[in-house]
Homo-oligomer: A and B are copies of this chain.
Amino acid sequence: MIKAGIIGATGYAGNEIVRLLLGHKEAEIVWFGSRSYIDKKYASVYQNFCKIVDAKCMDDNMEALAEEADVIFTATPQGLCASLVNEAILSKCKIVDLSADFRIKDVKTYEKWYGIEHKAPQFIKEAVYGLCEINREAVKGARLVANPGCYPTCSTLSLYPLLKEGLIEPSTIIIDAKSGTSGAGRGAKVDNLFCEVNENMKAYGVASHRHTPEIEEQLGYACGQEVLINFTPHLVPMNRGILVTAYASLNRETSYEEVRAVYDKYYGKETFVRVLDQDICPQTKWVEGSNYVDVNFKIDPRTHRIIVMGAMDNLVKGAAGQAVQNMNLMFNLAENEGLMQVPMYP
């Protein structure tokens, strides 16, 4: 039985890790870390766990936690994991970091976009970017996994086959993404109040969102060259779900069948990436509560562009689900253990 500790267990992503691990046959939670709620019953913070979780919240003490846990999930703001991790900890247990601290290989890029100093640059090289479908083998051997951001997961998986096969021109990529509000976290901010979000829509972080360099780095690996993109996230009045609509110019004439074959080549055997039938557009509700990413594409012969769509649950495949998937790989478990929830509809 793998012993798991969660630092940041009372955020939405932490709460979702708890939900998933409760249904995991090979793991148990030994530490519900939450600096804000120390000694409070976890189920009193999230009443959905009433009569299911009896534990109390504990401090975010990674040193102590490393003594008790086989794996630590850090579902905390940027900078915290980097400020706590050290060799002693990593020699005792594995870490899946849900923050951005170890996602970007170039520390200067990280520090520029995130506006903070990186406190543990010595671990950046070792850290594995935990996009399981693409870095599966590397994840298996990792001590420290950087769990990908929600937008980067959906964007990269949607575009990866096209870039890998050279079908699109990287400099033309535009990613227009839409997210439910749980991605904004549980902090008490006026902008995230029900009345401000409901019956409303907006773009935010235009030409400046911090997931941009992360996406660019991953797309760059796919096509073997530097990539600059436009990435625009939008806030939409729903709890869960990310929808990515990406645009790129085709490098040559192609057909539905050819592109479909490319997607099948990369995802045909993947459990969690579903390439939908022709002309079926992904909908976020079709993956709600599950670890699936649904993708599809449409070729526009008029403009010689391809439109690629991806939908997933930002709290599952975009955060907690992928974190558990990474844990499964790191501990040589079945990759889908604890992750076979059927999407809930409606």
Q: Is the CB of B47 within 8 A of A283?
A: yes
The answer to whether A181 and B203 touch (CB under 8 A), given A50-B274, A230-B303, A343-B48, is no
Report A208 CB to chain B, min CB distance, Å. Answer: 8
Q: Which of B193, B201, B285 contacts A283 (CB 8 A)?
A: B201
Which listed residue, B190, B199, B201, B283, touches A178 by the CB 8 Å rule? B201
Q: In angstroms, how far is the closest chain B Cβ from the Cβ of A186?
A: 6
Q: Is there a chain B Cβ closer than 8 Å to A241's Cβ?
A: yes
Interface residue? A34 (CB, 8 A): no
* Closest Cβ–Cβ distance, residue A16 to chain B (whole Å): 8
A230 and B195 CA atoms in complex are apart in Å by 28
Q: Which of A69-77, A114-122, A141-149, A287-295 contacts B (4 or more CB under 8 A)?
A: A287-295
Of all chain B residues, which has the CB nearest A313?
B344
A282 in contact (CB, < 8 A)? yes
Give complex CA distance A290, B193 in Å.
23
Interface size on A, residues (CB 8 A): 83
In Å, the complex CA distance between A305 and B282 comes to 28
A287 touching B206 in the complex, CB below 8 Å, given contacts A23-B342, A198-B237: no
Q: Tell me how far the C-beta of A246 lies from the nearest C-beta in chain B, rounded to whole angstroms.
A: 10
Given contacts A47-B276, A284-B201, A285-B48, contact A178 B178 (CB under 8 A): yes
**B178 touching A300 by the CB < 8 A rule?**
no
With both chains docked as a complex, state the minimum distance between the C-beta of A343 and any C-beta of chain B, in angstroms: 4
Contact B239 A234, beta carbon cutoff 8 Å: no
| Contacting residue for A200 out of B238, B274, B277, CB 8 A | B238
- B240 adjacent to A199 (CB under 8 Å): yes
- A305 to B207: give the CA distance in the assembly, Å: 10
Are B228 and A302 interface neighbours, CB within 8 A? yes
Question: How many angstroms between the C-alpha atoms of A230 and B281 in the bound complex?
Answer: 16
- Name the residue of chain B whose CB is nearest to the CB of A47: B286
Return chain B residues, CB-CB under 8 Å to A44: 277
- A216 closest partner in B (C-beta): B302
Assess the A228–B303 pair: CB atoms within 8 A: yes
Q: Is A266 interfacial (CB 8 A cutoff)?
A: no
A22 to B345, CA, bound (A): 14
234-264 of chain A: CB within 8 A of chain B:
234, 236-241, 243, 245, 247
Q: Does A68 contact B (CB under 8 A)?
A: no
Chain B hits for A111, CB < 8 A: none
On whether the beta carbons of B229 and A342 are closer than 8 Å, the reply is no
Which residues of chain B are near A51, meaning CB under 8 Å? 274
A193 to B299, CA, bound (A): 29
> Is A307 in contact with B207, judged by CB distance below 8 angstroms?
yes
Given the complex of chains A and B, what is the CA–CA distance between A289 and B345 in angstroms? 9
A176 within 8 A of B: yes
Q: What residue of chain B has the Cβ atom nearest to residue A270's Cβ?
A: B51
Closest to A238 in B: B199
CB distance from A28 to the nearest CB of B (A): 14
Closest residue of B by beta carbon distance from A18:
B342
Instruction: Kindly report which residue of chain B lies nearest to residue A244, judged by CB atoms.
Output: B203
Known: A201-B241, A228-B302. 17 other contacts (CB 8 A): A12-B346, A19-B344, A47-B294, A174-B305, A176-B176, A176-B245, A182-B195, A186-B190, A192-B193, A194-B194, A196-B285, A198-B238, A199-B241, A201-B236, A201-B238, A230-B303, A344-B344
